[in-house]
């Protein structure tokens, strides 16, 4: 900033002439020929100054204990003001600023997040004393009968497959996934697994009804547009008859525990 000429020095505002009294004790020098005019060193808060100091300087106030360097502003150059503005702007983006760290929204919504792939399996020869593949009715599940089941969940969909061998030939069986592992009693497997609680149909439950061929073999597959998340089924129960929604499920005749 260019200093005024001596010819107009006497017309300078009183606020400028009294800078010595208002500027505290900044580093300064007396201007030759202007005993009441103080040239304050242009030392705005540096960019590495703490953010609180920079903000206080821009606001025109200095908190107790904070250096007054750069607080006197009568002859601050425009470049110094620009430096301060940049310093404060930098503070606004600093990770140490709680407001800058505050989340502005969820980056990924739960409905958009893909569920982790899940595979459940169970297999074995039906025997009377093993809960991995246990038989409750030897008439409909002859000795040597066996089964395997796989439930694969990926990409928001679930495919469940059942294969049986050695059952009664040309017989229709019901089969469902249940909520609990197999036990010594038919009721130990609990209720039908339901994706939507309280909804007892083939879109919410996993039904695998099948009819065996002449050798007692058969297979069934169920597909659903939902993943296995949270609570998952723990067993497959074989029923004496196919599923009839309007009636109570047929007696449980065998069970496979899923792992």
pLDDT, tens digit (0-9, with 9 covering 90-100), for 237-251: 999 999 998 888 899
- pLDDT higher for 236 or 25? 236
Alpha-carbon gap, residue 181 to 48, rounded angstroms: 65
User: Which of 98, 99, 115 has the alpha carbon at shortest distance from 226?
Assistant: 115
Pairing of strands 172-178, 210-211: antiparallel
- List pLDDT tens digits, range 18-42: 444 444 444 444 444 444 434 444 4
Of the listed ranges 34-38, 111-115, 184-188, 231-235, the least confidently predicted one is 34-38
3-state secondary structure at position 242: coil
**Global pTM?**
0.57
Phi, psi of 172 (to 5 degrees): -95, 125
Q: Give one word for 198, left, alpha or beta, with left for phi > 0 and alpha for psi -120 to 50.
A: left
pLDDT at site 246? 85
pLDDT category of residue 114 using cuts at 50, 70 and 90:
low
């Amino acid at each position: 900033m260019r200093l005024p000429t001596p010819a107009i020095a006497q017309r300078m505002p009183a606020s400028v002439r009294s800078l010595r009294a208002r500027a505290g004790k900044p580093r300064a020098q007396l201007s030759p020929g202007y005993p009441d005019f103080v040239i304050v060193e242009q030392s705005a808060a540096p960019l590495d100054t703490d953010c609180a100091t920079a903000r206080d300087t821009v606001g025109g106030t200095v908190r107790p204990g904070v250096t007054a360097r750069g607080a006197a502003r009568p002859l601050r150059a425009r470049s110094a003001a620009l430096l301060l503005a940049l310093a404060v702007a930098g503070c606004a983006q600093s990770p140490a600023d709680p407001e800058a760290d505050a989340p502005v929204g969820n980056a990924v919504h739960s409905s958009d997040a893909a569920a982790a792939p899940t595979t459940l399996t169970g297999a074995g020869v039906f025997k009377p004393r093993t809960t991995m593949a246990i038989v409750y009715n030897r008439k409909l599940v002859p000795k040597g009968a066996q089964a395997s089941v796989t439930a694969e969940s990926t990409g928001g969909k679930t495919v469940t497959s059942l294969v049986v061998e050695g059952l009664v030939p040309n017989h229709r069986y019901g089969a469902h996934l249940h909520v609990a592992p197999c036990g010594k009693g038919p009721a130990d497997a609990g209720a039908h697994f339901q994706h939507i609680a309280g909804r007892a149909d083939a879109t919410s439950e996993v039904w695998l009804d099948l009819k065996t061929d002449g050798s007692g073999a058969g297979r069934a597959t169920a597909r659903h547009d939902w993943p296995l998340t949270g609570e998952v089924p723990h067993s497959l129960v074989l029923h004496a008859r196919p599923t009839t929604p309007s009636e109570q499920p047929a007696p449980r005749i065998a069970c496979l525990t899923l792992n």
